[in-house]
Structure formats: structure tokens, C-alpha cells
Amino acid sequence: MKEIYLDNSATTALSPSAKAAMTEAMERYGNPSSIHTAGNRAKELLENCRKDVALTFGVRRPEPGELIFTGSGSEGDNLALIGTSFAKPRRAGGRIISTDSEHPGVENALKFLESRGFEVVRVPTENGVLNLDFLRSALNEKTFLVSLMAVNNETGSAYPVAEAFSMVKAYRNDIVTHTDAVQGYLHLPLNVKNMNADLITVSAHKIHGPKGVGALWVSAEARKRRDLSPVIFGGGQEAGFRSGTENLVGIAGFAAAAKEGFANLPSNIGKMKILRELAENLLDGLPVRLNLPKGARAPHILSVTVPGIRSETILHALSARGIYISNGSACSSHATVPSAALTAFGLSPADVGSTIRVSFSAENSEEDVRIFADALGEEISRLVHIR
């Protein structure tokens, strides 16, 4: 039975180039912090990888502390939010602005900060559109941090972070701006020169790299203002922002996947968009609802509601046929609270529970999409018949 993997927003298959780079990196077993020859070889590889990843941000020569390797996208988000909030005592009790549909890595960090006395204002996102007027009205003298995701992991909505951050900086330039770009990274163009962002979070395993490694980009302005403090303490690795011996094998795989994805970015975006649009056309004749954002979209994510059938039932039925998708976000697939992102599309709690997410990679084929669409139609007919 051919397996068809359409859950690429949850994680991606490790690319051959990433696997090869990781195998080679295993030979450089020295600690990058050691000053002997073995340590220097490891340090050289680490910094070459940093340059390769930085280039995907539009940065040719990263400065110390500009690109921090982390253990995941969630860790990067926590470092950005908690590290910024506790960087200066004057921020205690200050205002943070975010959205009502963030990834749990951001949302749960925000809840932690709320429990420590910080005020959090969440900007509504109706039908996948960020309410910029609400954001503008929420800015005040106590605001010190604005965190807006680049692409929603459940619906594929692409938020206008550059426009939003430009507005924030015009209000007051020292407000720290952060974006969780995990779902947008190497799925949409990214260049720090035109984003007005101070902090950008990305992750390797969403781009055919390994799990357990990510990065946080930090602007020159944020470094100069000392806007960020560490949340993990130890030996002072990663310019003091993220202590702990670097995962060189994982970082090597990350850099190889990033380099390959960046080189093929226009082509990959085009392929994923074709696959998503094909899926939309094929599903149009089925008794489903396509949750299509009214604003800009990422090319690889499609949200589909199948009224009257629980998403878990559909997942198990398709999984038995070797077809793998997700019910909403795999990062919060066991959540008991209805998704804010899907509720903002006007879905009832019952419909939220009947929503699946299909997510593509450039490695998928049109045949994969056709087989999935046929299988979904057959399973809907079968499940409706036996209900």
C-alpha cells in the first residue's frame, strides 16, 4: 500500500541532504566550546551552519547574537516572549499585544506571563484577517511587546506582519516586535530588511530538517537595547542567550535543509500552491466546507470541515488506507477548548470538532492529492451511511 503523507504542517520527512549533513557532522564530535583542534573543527561547522541559515533571512554575515540556535520553535517563542518580558524591570506589569489564534508555544507563554502580572491584549482574527484597527487602538504607553504569527498553523492565513510592525514602530520605535514564523518559514519569502521585526522564530522540522532544533533571529536594534534576556542559564553558549552545548548534528541537518529550501523557494511555493488549488477543486463537489481565509494565504495549508463527522473518525479511516492528515493542529490535537482560529471562521464547536487540516510539501504529487480526495469522498459516503 502506498503511503500518502499530507500532514506537512505537523512535521516533514527528513531530506536526503539533511540526513547526509547530519551523518557527516557526527564525525565532528568535539564540543564547539573547547579550544583544542577537535573543538575548533566543531566550532567551524557550527558557524558555517549559522551563516547558511542566516542567509535564508536575507543576512549574509550574521553578527554575534543575531541568530540563536534553539531546541525547537516553542523554545524560540518562549525565549522571545519571556526573555523580552523579564529583560528589564520597568516592563513588569506592562502590556503585550498578540492575536487570538497563536500557536500554543506563544499562547501558553502569554498565559504564564499573565499569571506573573503582565497584561495581554489579543487582537481578533476574523476569517483569517488580522484586525489592524484593533491593534492600532490597543497600543498605549505601557505596551512593550507585540507578537504576531506570520502564518496560522490551522488555516494557512498569512497575516500582514510587516504592515502591522511598521504601524507599531511608527507609534513607538522601542516596542519589541516578534513573529512566530514557523509555518511561514521557507513557505513564503522572508527578508528581515522589510519586516520591521526584532525577533523571528523558526523551526527545522517544518522544512525537511530534523526535530529538536530551531532558531531565533534578533535584530541589531534589539541587541543594542538589550531587549532580550536568557531563560536557560549555564555555560553561556549562543552569545549568552541559550546555554547548553549546541546540538551540532541537528544544526547541520537544519542548515542543509534550509539551504536547499531557500535555493528552491520560488519553485516549491509554486508546486505547493498548485497542489492546494487542485485539492480545493476536487473537494468542491463533496459535502464539505473549505475554510478559506479572506486575506493572504500560505501555499501549503488547507482547512476542511466535514459536517456531522468527527475529525478523529476521518483521520482513523484515512490512516487505515495509508493517508495521513491532521485534525486541526497536531501541536494541540488533544485540546478540549475549541480552536480560536477556526471559531473565527464562524464555525460552531461541533464543526470545529469536524475539521481536518491537509498540508502539502513540494515532495507531494498531484496523484497524492487525487487519491486523497477520492478516499475522503468514499469515507464520507461510508460513514454517513453507517451513522
45-75 pLDDT, tens digit each: 999 999 999 999 999 999 999 999 999 999 9
Nearest to 211 by CA among 244, 257, 243, 178: 257
Non-local CB neighbours of 71 within 8 Å, separated by 6+ positions: 212, 213, 214, 247
Give yes or no for residue 329 having a pLDDT over 60: no
**Predicted local confidence at residue 332, as pLDDT:** 52
Mean pLDDT score, 352-365? 98
What is the pTM (predicted TM-score) of this model? Answer: 0.95
How would residue 1 be classed by pLDDT, with cut points 50, 70 and 90? confident
Burial 118-157 (b: 16+ CB within 10 A, else e): bebbbbebeebbbeeebbeebbeeebbbbbbbbbbbbbbb
Nearest to 183 by CA among 111, 105, 130: 105
Give strand pairing partners of 179.
200
Mean pLDDT for the chain? 95
331 is catalytic: yes
Give yes or no for residue 330 having a pLDDT over 50: no
Distance CA 32, CA 42 (A): 5
- Cell of residue 171, nine digits: 507609534
Nearest to 135 by CA among 161, 171, 105, 97: 97
Distance CA 61, CA 68 (A): 14
* pLDDT tens digits, one per residue of 224-235: 999 999 999 999
Burial 42-57 (b: 16+ CB within 10 A, else e): bbebbeebbebbbbbb
Greater confidence, 57 or 332?
57
Angle at 355 between CA 102 and CA 374, to 5 degrees: 130
Mean pLDDT score, 290-299? 96
> Within 10 A of 386 (CB to CB), how many other CB atoms are there?
6
Give yes or no for residue 180 having a pLDDT over 70: yes
Among 202, 218, 306, 331, the one annotated catalytic: 331
**Predicted local confidence at residue 163, as pLDDT:** 98
49 close to 257: Cβ distance less than 8 angstroms = no
199 close to 65: Cβ distance less than 8 angstroms = no
Distance CA 217, CA 219 (A): 7
Quote the strand ranges of 159-198, DSSP E: 176-180
In the chain, what are the domains?
Answer: 4-12+265-386 (3.90.1150.10), 16-263 (3.40.640.10)
How would residue 87 be classed by pLDDT, with cut points 50, 70 and 90? very high
Sign of the torsion formed by the C-alpha atoms of 366, 370, 372 and 376 = positive
**Predicted local confidence at residue 338, as pLDDT:** 76
300 close to 156: Cβ distance less than 8 angstroms = yes
